[in-house]
A and B are shown apart, each in its own frame.
Chain A
């Protein structure tokens, strides 16, 4: 069964303290690995898509990487406005258009 697992569930950082979020996946025929950001009371907002092992993408203080078993979201020198829940999702070959989501990592960055 296709599965996506994120860790840790929650992460508290001081402003400027870099860290990484992990997303482990078991998906048949991965067609894409996605990262979303979700703020309280809002729907998820798209961040990145990764398609093959070794691929990396960056946006401001965020960098996403992909291996054959997991993806990492690296946060460099975070700011309080980076506080949110980060969701990882996988699109497999047998899943038509649907995504399999992990449970998310809630990040809190303190000033």
Chain B
């Protein structure tokens, strides 16, 4: 597609439920990133996929968070047993290679845990 597409754009869930957030990167982009942006905070790195290499999961805050990327394209971020502190905007970005000037961000999924 023309840009990075994220769905849903908004998600309200009850504490303790599982949620899945989806990211469709730009076609041909080999790198895909997930970041989290909490109110008044900067972007927090979560996970990074590059081609067929093992993902860099160093930013995942707990084992309730996981992500996969199928066929080198679409990615799903899963949060199990959601907590109120998980409320944030989850941003996905893709790029042709490493480095920030190739990043194209999606508009994000705003997650609210009630």
A43 and B42 within 8 A (CB): no
B56 and A96 within 8 A (CB): yes
Smallest CB-CB A-B distances: 4 pairs: A43-B105, A34-B100, A101-B43, A49-B101
Interface assignment of B13: CB less than 8 Å from any CB of chain A: no
A91-B99, A96-B56, A97-B99 given; A43·B45 CB < 8 A: no
Taking the nearest CB of chain A, how far is it from the CB of B103, in angstroms? 6
Taking the nearest CB of chain A, how far is it from the CB of B37, in angstroms? 9
For the complex, what is the distance from the CA of A98 to the CA of B95, rounded to whole Å? 11
Contact-residue size bin, chain A (C-beta under 8 Å from the other chain):
20 to 34
Partner of B103, one of A4, A46, A100, A104: A46
Interface assignment of A58: CB less than 8 Å from any CB of chain B: no
- The contact string, 1 if C-beta is below 8 Å from chain B, for chain A 28-44, is 00011010000001111
Interface assignment of A11: CB less than 8 Å from any CB of chain B: no
Can you pick out 11 interface pairs between chain A and chain B where the beta carbons lie within 8 Å of each other?
A31-B99, A32-B99, A34-B103, A42-B108, A44-B91, A45-B105, A87-B42, A96-B48, A97-B95, A101-B42, A104-B42
Closest A residue to B91 by beta carbon equals A43
Give chain A's interface residues, CB within 8 Å of chain B. Answer: 4, 6, 31-32, 34, 41-46, 49, 87, 89, 91, 96-104
Interface assignment of B77: CB less than 8 Å from any CB of chain A: no
B98 and A43 within 8 A (CB): no
B56 and A98 within 8 A (CB): yes
- Residues from chain B with Cβ under 8 Å of A45 in the complex: 105
Partner of B59, one of A49, A98, A104: A98
- The contact string, 1 if C-beta is below 8 Å from chain A, for chain B 37-54, is 000111111001010000
**Most chain A CB neighbours (cut-off 10 Å) among B35, B44, B93, B103:** B103
For the complex, what is the distance from the CA of A98 to the CA of B113, rounded to whole Å? 27
B101 and A43 within 8 A (CB): no
Closest B residue to A43 by beta carbon equals B105
- Residues from chain B with Cβ under 8 Å of A102 in the complex: 42
